[in-house]
Every structure is written in C-alpha cells, then in structure tokens.
Amino acid sequence: MKKHTYFRLLYSSLLICLLFAISACKKEKNPVLNETTDSKFIFSVASLNNSPNNKLASTNPLNNNNNNNSYSITPISSAINIIYGSKEENIAPGIQPNSAINKITKKTASTTIVYPYMRYRILLYNITTNILEKNIETDASRNLEIPVTAGDEYRWYAYSYNTAGNVEEPVMENNIPTIRTAADKEFIWASSDGPILASGATIPLSINFEHKVAEVIVEINTQELLGTITDIEVEFAEVDYFNTGKINILTGDISDIIPYTSPLLDETNFTTVGNPQIYQARIYTADPINNIESLQLNINKLSSMHHDNSVKELHTATDPPKQVTFSFNAPQIAKSHVASLNFKYTIPTKKILHVTGDGNNSNLNFSFAAQPGSNTAGQNLPPHSMLKQELNYGALPNSIVSTHGYTHQTVLNSGLKAALEETTKPDIVIMSLFYTMTDADVTALNTYLNHGGVVMMFVDNATGFSAELLAYQKFINAAFDVTNIIMSVSPFYGGGSLFRLDHEGIVNDRIIYGPFGNLSNQFWGTDTHNVLVAENLPIGTATNQATVYCNPQPDNVTQFAPTGQVMFKHNSKKLFYIGNSSFLSTRPDLIYGGWAGGDNPIKVPFATVFLPNYPNTADPTRNYNDYPMPRRYGWDAFGVGYTPNSMVYNAPLFANLMAWAIYQAEISGINKDRITENWQEEGKDNSYIWE
C-alpha cells in the first residue's frame, strides 16, 4: 500500500485578509475619474496552457516517440497477442464523447484550444470593499460582461471541469473558496495576475486556464484484432493508484489529498476518439508523483463481435487475469500518462497476383502493379519493397501490420483467366495499365470477385485503345450487376492534378483511417495519364452500391466540370477502384524536371523513405527504408492560384489499401476455407468484412 502525505494550507485566510488590507491602504482615488460612471469588465476564455495540438492517438504504441521506449508482449489466444507500452505527453484539450465502446464516434476537428461549450465558474472579488461581488457560471462560447464600481480594485478567479456539465459552487472555509477535484473529469483553473483597477471604461480580460490534475489514459487499439470489442473488464491491481485534492480557489494550491478506489473499467468507460478502432478510458488524479510510476492492469474479460453479431470470448472471467504493467518515468500534473494495449492477429501468408501489360517494358521500371522486379538501377521498386519491409507488413513485434507476408505472381499481356483458375488461387489481384482484358478475362475476374476475391484496380486508358477501356466497363457493370455504367476519360485530368481524399468528411473506414495514417482531406496525385471515371455509378450505402472516396474534380483545375467517379469501393464485394494507372508510379533512379518543381523534382507521385535524397521528415518515428510517406507534388494549373507542391498521399493510401486487402482476404476471402484454424477451432466467424 502506498503512503500518502496529507497537508492543509493553514494560513490562507490570514494572507488573503492581509492582501485586502494592503490593497485598501495603497488605494487612492483617481481625481479625474467620475465614481458614478459605470465601468465594465468583459471576460473571454483565451487558452488552456500546457496543451499540445489535438492529434489522434498513435495507431501503434511501438512507433511513437515514447519517452520510455519500451514494450512487452503477452498472448491473449493462439493467434492474438497484446503488445503494450506506455508514453507520457501533455494533456490534449477537448471534451470526450459519452459513448459506449461499441459505438463508432465520427471524427471531430477543432482549431481552438478551449472548446466553446465548456462551462466554467468565475468569482469576482472587490478588494476595496473586501466583498465577493460575483459568483457566476457561464460557458466559453460568449463573452461575460460584469458591471463594476469605477475606481475600485478587483481580483478574479475561474475554474472548470473542462466539460459541458454544470460547475459546482465552491465550499467556503474561513472565507476561502475551495473545490475538490473529480475522478472522472479534468480540473482547470485561472486567476488575474494582480489587482485590476476599474478605470471607468470597458476593460477586456482574458482567461488563461491551466491544468491542476494529471490524466491517466487506458488505450485499447483493435485495428488489427479483426473484430470489434463488445465486452471488456479491466481492473487495476491496486485500489489506491488515484486520488482527489482540495483546490484553494484563491491561490490554486492543492491540499487534503484523499485516495479513491481505482475504477473497474468496462465497455461503458471506453469511448472512441477520432479513430473508430482506438478506445480510451480517462481517469484523473491530483497527486501523480508518488502513485502512478508503475500501473498494473488485470484483463479479466474480453469479447469481440463480428459483422453478423457472432461473439467470441477471447478471455473469460474464469480464466486467470492477463496482467500487464506500465511504467512512467516522470508522472506529473498537466501530463497525460497513456497505458496503450495493441491487439494484433497475425495473418498467414497471402498470394498477390500482379496484372500488367508489357508496354515495351517501360511499365516494369515504374511498378504500376506493385509487382516484383527492378528498375534500370537494379533496385527493388518502392511499392513492392514497401510490401516486403517487415516493419510495414511482418511478424515482428513492432510490425505495423501483423502478417507472415506475401508470395507473388505476375501476369504480363495475357493469362489472367488461367491464373485465376489455378488450384492455389491468388488472395489479392492488383490490376494495372497496358493489360487489355478479353471477355474470358472479364468473366473470370468477376467470378473471382463474387467468390470473395480481392481486386484493386489502378487503371486508365493509357494505350488509347477503346478495347482496354471497354473491358474495364464490362467488368465494372458486371460487378454492380447493372448495364448503364459508362467508363470515360476525363478531360485534361493528367499529370500534376491533385484530388482531395474524403472531401466531404463522411468516409469512416480503415482505408482513410488506417494503420499508415489518417488521410482524410489529404491529396493524391496523378502522373502523366488522364483519369478514367465511371459515370452512372450506383452510389449509396446499400450492398450493391459504391462508397466514393474523392471528388472527381481536381483541386488545382477549374476549367472542366467533373463527371463520373474516379475512386470508389464496392460496398459488398472486395473491389477498390482508382481510375489512374500511374497511382503507384515510381522511379527511384529517375530524378528529372516535371510536375514537382523545386529541388530534385520527381515526376512520379509514389514515395517511400527508400528514395535517394528523400529522407523521412514527415514521420521521424518511422525513419526506416521503404516506409510509405507523402511527397511534395502538383502544379498551379492555368494560374488558378492553387499552391503547387502540395503533399500527395499515394503511398500511405496504398499502404492502408494493402492492409484492408489482406484482412478482407483472411476473414472472408476466396481461400477462406484454407485459413489457419486458429479462428475456426474457436468458433470464429469467417465472413467478417473489415469495415
């Protein structure tokens, strides 16, 4: 049992009275001031100090700037491990949503530090008369106007739980206002720097809050669990990790530290913040220094649910608790102490079929289908090298996507039908340019798709032959079971065009919010080819409709009205379409003038740390070869005033797509009957779609 120090502030009332007396003695009336004139204080909430920008929590505790730089692993089943670690950071601003663990909370964005619906209480003392004149509760969305007596001096104090809920009135102890911190809410406080003279005019006053408690977050990451948590019970090993304190409103000092029973966390305590598969429970404590250097959690229960509502108990209440321990180097007030648990299912090896045409072998130098091979410099091409990097996709403890990797097969010019009908069928098909499907190919690819195959298409009409375009049109119509979809080449939307991802902010899946980054409202870029769009596409939320991922109008082109859709996903089949065959275009050895401009301009939009003279400055915590990263790209088309050289996220999007593809293939793919029996023998459902 930890020892706690109990202390009280004994002389606060004497000090406050002395302050009033000194102020009264020093006060002199301003002879110019008309004491009958109304004076007014106008309060506005300005900031919450000691807070960083409101960023999403990391998707992987092992890939953070973790000041402890440590992690541990414990199995939760024969196929699932928990990788856990700790980190310390400033408390992020904001009010957490009050939702259960199985509710997906839409992402929220804020450019302010203090939220407008936060309620706070303000106390205004008249030093001249030694009277508490005002005790007002309000919220941060409005300015608070308080009339005051001209010529008098005042001091003000403010406090809040940083929520939209009511703020309790203080308890008066020997004329000193006090308030106790809460276990489930922050406590923030502010005061005037000194006496304020009511000068007979309107006086604006800014409220700058500061944190008075420490935060502990238990974070559960299920992005690679291949299921949604429905029942969880987490218990702290010690009952007195956490405590409350009494705040002296006049000084901000804390005393009377009292421990409270460490909470038992279940699904009602966890909420999703930004990422629908990262759950967090928050606890607050007034004296963290001697209490939370080491936290031990016992996982008592854990269940997950699949899309058909079948539930699997991964850990039951009758099993011995899973124990995990988190260490913090320097716990302190105003810090957030995150205990992060990342649930990982390791996916067996998947087979990729890379489909592309010859194109005089030039496409082999660009890796349009992410196929194995080498360019003129004899180097592996970044899209393929990115897939082979175990820190990206591998069975290492700190692999971003937990998998045993891939095998590869490439089809050039012809042979798609035969490859799809082999005994060992591909789990994933990547289609690219210069391959003109025959009618037999189209039929075989749709049969493959309808039986659970995963198809990613990076295509356009690069050859200029209508047969290539018409083959795509036949396939897309068959995939949606319609006949009116028309594939067409958009005017001009070629090299240097920038398209905005999730432009309406309505896509909420792991392609946009994936293990390789949050891509909402980011750009992707085209190479030399115009985009191929699908017109009359059935768009909606039904099973045989499509989810659209970006506006078909480039942000840096205004001359042409958009028609059709250039990037979409089939809602019930495993088809993802991008109407641009050079989406993965890469030439590590080729540095020449083009759309990018600036130093070392590169004409292709796909980038990894592998590229020469292109270090990873976007994410230094993952500064290893072949990590996918954005690239400066684009141009100011027709002088429309758009800033050129914006970041394009082709590589992170493809990385998220590959994570989506292997999860789809594992749980409900065409080879699902051959899945390792880790799931099946435990009653796992095999038709789950990773959405």
List of E strands, 212-310: 214-224, 228-236, 242-248, 254-260, 264-266, 271-272, 278-285, 294-305
Residue 47: give the domain boundaries: 12-51+113-211
Among candidate residues 642, 684, 637, 295, the one with its CA nearest the CA of residue 494: 637
Q: What is the pLDDT of residue 672?
A: 78
Residue 7 belongs to some domain of the structure: no
Residue 380 and residue 374 in contact, taking contact as beta carbons nearer than 8 Å:
yes
Q: What is the pLDDT of residue 33?
A: 37
Instruction: Please indicate, yes or no, whether residues 431 and 451 belong to a single structural domain of this protein.
Output: yes
Instruction: Please indicate, yes or no, whether residues 83 and 171 belong to a single structural domain of this protein.
Output: no
Residue 456 belongs to some domain of the structure: yes
Instruction: Please indicate, yes or no, whether residues 125 and 44 belong to a single structural domain of this protein.
Output: yes
Instruction: Please indicate, yes or no, whether residues 281 and 354 belong to a single structural domain of this protein.
Output: no
Residue 106 belongs to some domain of the structure: no
Q: pLDDT means per 10 residues in the chain (691 residues)? A: 37 40 38 55 87 32 39 79 87 47 31 66 95 95 93 96 92 95 93 92 93 94 81 91 96 95 91 82 91 92 74 86 91 92 89 82 72 61 89 87 92 93 95 92 97 95 79 97 93 73 84 91 83 93 93 74 87 96 72 40 72 62 85 61 69 96 90 48 31 31
Residue 6 belongs to some domain of the structure: no
Instruction: Please indicate, yes or no, whether residues 268 and 394 belong to a single structural domain of this protein.
Output: no
Structure tokens at 57: 């929590």
The tally of domains found in the chain comes to 3
Residue 412 belongs to some domain of the structure: yes
Of 181, 211, 241, the position where a domain reaches its end is 211
Of 326, 345, 364, the position where a domain reaches its end is 345
CATH number at residue 191: 2.60.40.10
Q: What is the pLDDT of residue 265?
A: 93
Structure tokens at 381: 């091409």
Instruction: Please indicate, yes or no, whether residues 66 and 149 belong to a single structural domain of this protein.
Output: no
Instruction: Please indicate, yes or no, whether residues 470 and 400 belong to a single structural domain of this protein.
Output: yes
For 557-606, give the secondary structure using H, E and C.
CCCCCCCCECEEEECCCCEEEECCCCCCCCCCCCCCCCCCCCCCCCCCCC
Instruction: Please indicate, yes or no, whether residues 128 and 80 belong to a single structural domain of this protein.
Output: no
Instruction: Please indicate, yes or no, whether residues 42 and 88 belong to a single structural domain of this protein.
Output: no
Instruction: Please indicate, yes or no, whether residues 248 and 375 belong to a single structural domain of this protein.
Output: no
Residue 75 belongs to some domain of the structure: yes
Instruction: Please indicate, yes or no, whether residues 435 and 555 belong to a single structural domain of this protein.
Output: yes
How many Cα atoms sit within 13 Å of 181 on the Cβ side? Answer: 34
CATH number at residue 464: 3.40.50.880
Q: What is the pLDDT of residue 306?
A: 64
Instruction: Please indicate, yes or no, whether residues 291 and 391 belong to a single structural domain of this protein.
Output: no
Q: What is the pLDDT of residue 636?
A: 52
Of 299, 329, 345, the position where a domain reaches its end is 345
CATH number at residue 77: 2.60.40
